[in-house]
Structure 1
């Protein structure tokens, strides 16, 4: 493969760092080219492909969740462009993060595919290449959803060329599907909980999402929705949602349940390896979706005060929905322990690992939407002995993101607890570091993808069955055919998938971003989306850094910028 192409100079430095990372694994100073031509050396390339997922997902989640109906700014400012749209321009903070990290992933895979043709030919080589192509498809899928059409670069690059052209979104989708079809034909079938590697189920799941999303595009066809439903059912493979929702994200002092039978694909972290460089090798997912909790002085986990759940998000749950208390820390607990005559009160973590359970008290309680005055009276009476001296009862409507305009004290927005790291390897003072896996695909969401695909394919009864399997596990009544529409699906996805890096893509896919964000996010008005040319800023802008380094000045910017 002699032709050398590169997409932009800014990413080239990152590509170089990727090579450095891999070559550090080479033993005895053997040149990289020779190393990768061995089976063990080629495995290093495969490992690097998986490692780049941490660069895509392990940092802040602005491009995944901000500026939506579910999460809004609290006390801590969010990047104004991405969270409010009025100041969204090509040079806005954080706009280029997926652009850079996804092309890093793509280049890593391109290098893998190049060496697959010259490395030692082993019996599992085809399977490894299939895993790599899945990861490249995932990166292109993130890019095309976020920025629209982007350059397709599928060759191993070793030197920068600073002139490049833009492919259409339709061409990018064709590339994604080509990669995934090849991947599906070659990856293994081993259970993800056992292998931790891309398997046919993961590929079917991503194909379902790709076809579903393409179906909404102007170049999409009704058969896209039919294919999406078929691939989703193949990923479901007849498996019911029988793991209690409380166990899907279970966090204990002795371990987590990230690799359970419903996890289809995730970004995996290892406590032992992460401890060598925790601030870079851990992830930040647990850090968001909450108020600040007091930090090291209270022994509570360090949290930001942004991407706080909106009142709309909090009001999605009805009485009896098991997802409410699993998703949110509805009671923030405290424990006072006296050691050597000195009393110290710790907050939040007594929920997971109390030293003296009898001494644990409730510092904060967040009243759910369905509480009546009688329910409040009953709760206060039943928990009279549990209430701390500084107990705070938060009435419904007074702990959403918008309430921070009135009261933004610590713990005055309900914390999302589903990503809690109950046994962190680093102290609070280290910063926002977690070694929990980031679950990218799980069976509950696949049922909801199938529900949406069947609805759009004109088979709503089957779609309703898929959605009601999710509601059955949640312990709530079935939805009816009369209420089964895109808005209901988005509400159900909201209940099921809080904080799971899906929401901006959901709203963009379904064409509801402007309407829902302006209706439910107190920081956003519909006019915020109107760009300088009158077009709506639905896609994120092509980053200015990429445009500046491109010698092809005919490279088009997205509408609205």
Structure 2
């Protein structure tokens, strides 16, 4: 644990594209104590709290998405323990990713809270502390969902601490809510897109998720679901879902729409601030949820060929759902591009960069589930002049993760395009690097949180209204009260939030992880979850490295390990 929780200094990195508000500023040549006792130095300390979000969300998303019903292994192996459970042990690859990064976040906030008592007292001091405590609450929320009870550490640690006691999950939730209550009373109300900082809306949104999740636990309070519904409605604040879905994640040569009016909180990146070391200061989100597209040799973006959509995920969409074409690259285009006087045929990127898209050829087309033979014939006839000489028509059922067992070729899994970066900072040969923001909370999800909370609180009519607002924006028919249950909500969350770092938590929260993963992920059987003493591997194991460093050997491991 000492590697996790010892203070590791200031990150000199900007975390907001609103660079006027959260700026990069290295003060390593000034003693920390003297710097943080000034108003400007304390502001920089708070800024580093935001920077730690990159460590939590910017790398591999295995702990968020692997081993679920929505995504499965393609050609590239995923960490076997996290993606398939049978081999999941405390020393498995990537098990400690959130444990380490969340405690780094927590330590940064603890330092902020400590200096808030001795720094220059200013009118906005509690606002800044409220922002920091929101970030600490978010880190503990990720930890308690993933690992169960963990040590609650609130001190500013400046010397190695070698022994920690495990708190219960119930105690962790109490601490999370205490932090968020303080934050709600103190943070500002200015729109997130203006400041890039935690505001009351973000706090209400996280409180809704915390109460909703605790409501499923054995130690739940009787009013957890009703509180979750109330906080979700406070975050919604009467705002409809009025931005077309295909504009929420739009990326163009002139910029992105990440800070739109429906973004509640995000991990922000700025291209200028990452240019000094883009492979470390950018993020990897766009790299997953697709097949390998050919990479540098075709000019296509580098993709990993894992966390590929399952047949279940792809089959969630019905005809007319705007989210289908907004989420997936249903046609892969090719076209000529000239660089340094050399012209070659480029794959995929011409979709974003061509000034005359009508002239581009279609290399791959992925048939949606609802296509009939007549639909296929119409597509082929209508687009005959657009089809490349190497055109491939992918019938329904032949481009999911499982299809790689039959045909293991580039572009044989449909790419998820919602995280694409039309302006990568480095060529695809350099590695998986994007400077697009990672959206952690947005209004569409808040409506679905409200829907679930109202259902669980015994008010399904209001819950259905919240869910149907999401479906209205998608352009599909309202769900009925007879359809409205947890499974339907999980399906709707799948359609709305595909790839957005939510799915493992959704299945774990609702108690459906074993049934849904084993039903829809071709790599997983129910028996995979059975661990030591017949206990199910629902929580991830406490990392072995943390246990080894902890001199308190009376620190229990999770069931099944």
TM-score, normalised to structure 2, is 0.96
Q: Give the structure 2 partner of residue 349 of structure 1.
A: 349
How far did 1:121 drift? 0.5
Mind listing any 5+ residue stretches in structure 2 that lack a counterpart?
15-23
The alpha carbon displacement at 1:101 in A equals 0.2
Find the counterpart in structure 2 of residue 16 from structure 1.
8
**Where in structure 1 are there 5+ consecutive unaligned residues?**
1-7
Report the CA distance between 1:161 and its aligned residue: 1.8
**Deviation of 1:20 (Å):** 8.5
- Counterpart in 2 of 1:194? 194
SS at 1:216 equivalent: coil
Residues 444-463 of structure 1: pairs in structure 2 closer than 5 A = 444-463=444-463
Matched, 1:266 2:248: no
- Provide the residue aligned with 1:331 in structure 2: 331
CA gap of 1:305–1:19, structure 2 versus 1, over 3 A, is: closer
Deviation, structure 1 residue 427:
1.2
- 1:288-347: CA deviation from partner (whole Å, max 9, x where unpaired): 000000001101000000000000000000000000000000000001357899651100
Q: 2:102 maps to what in 1?
A: 102
Query: Aligned runs of 1:177-326 on 2, under 5 Å?
Result: 177-326=177-326
For residues 431-442 of structure 1, the aligned pairs below 5 Å read: 431-442=431-442
Shift of 1:132: 0.2
**Deviations 1:168-194 (Å, cap 9, x if unpaired)?**
000000000000000000000000011
SS at match of 2:218: coil
RMSD: 1.5
Specify the alignment match of 1:148 in structure 2: 148
Match of 2:536 in 1: 536
- The structural deviation recorded for 1:28 is 8.8
TM-aligned CA deviation for residue 355 of structure 1: 5.3
Structure 1 residue aligned with 2:20: none
- Classify the secondary structure of the residue corresponding to 2:242: coil
Q: CA–CA distance in 1 between the matches of 2:11 and 2:406?
A: 50
Contact 1:140 / 1:172 at 8 angstroms: preserved in 2? yes
Residue 420 of structure 1 is matched in structure 2 by: 420
1:21 shift after superposition: 8.0
* Deviation, structure 1 residue 519: 0.1
1:95-125: CA deviation from partner (whole Å, max 9, x where unpaired): 0010000000000000000000000011111
Could you tell me which residue of structure 1 aligns to residue 525 of structure 2?
525
Displacement, 1:354? Answer: 1.3
* Residue aligned with 2:210, SS: helix
Q: Secondary structure at the match of 1:491?
A: helix
Partner of 1:61: 61
For residues 119 and 405 of structure 2, what CA distance do their matches in structure 1 show? 60
Contact 1:180-1:203 within 8 A present in 2 as well: yes
Counterparts of 1:343 and 1:56 in 2: how far apart (Å)? 40
Aligned equivalent of 2:559: 559
* Aligned-partner Cα distance in 2 for 1:538–1:544: 17
User: What is the DSSP-based 3-state SS (H/G/I as helix, E as strand, rest coil) of the residue aligned with 2:534?
Assistant: coil
Distance 1:65 1:516 in 2: 13
2:279 and 2:433 in contact (8 A); partners too: yes
Question: Structure 1 residues 357 and 478, CA, compared in 2 at 3 Å: closer, same or farther?
Answer: closer
How far apart are 1:19 and its partner, in Å? 7.1
Distance 2:343 2:182 in 1: 62
Give the TM-score normalised by the residue count of structure 1. 0.96
Distance in 1 (alpha carbons) for counterparts of 2:306 and 2:28:
48
**Pairwise CA distance, 1:29:** 3.2
Change (3 A) 1:26 1:193: closer
Partners of 2:42 and 2:115 within 8 A in 1? yes
| Separation in 2, partners of 1:335, 1:534 | 56
* Secondary structure of the structure 1 residue equivalent to 2:260: coil
Shift in Å, 1:532: 1.4
Q: For residues 187 and 126 of structure 1, what CA distance do their matches in structure 2 show?
A: 8
Q: 26-35 or 63-72: which moved more?
A: 26-35
- Aligned with 1:439: secondary structure? strand
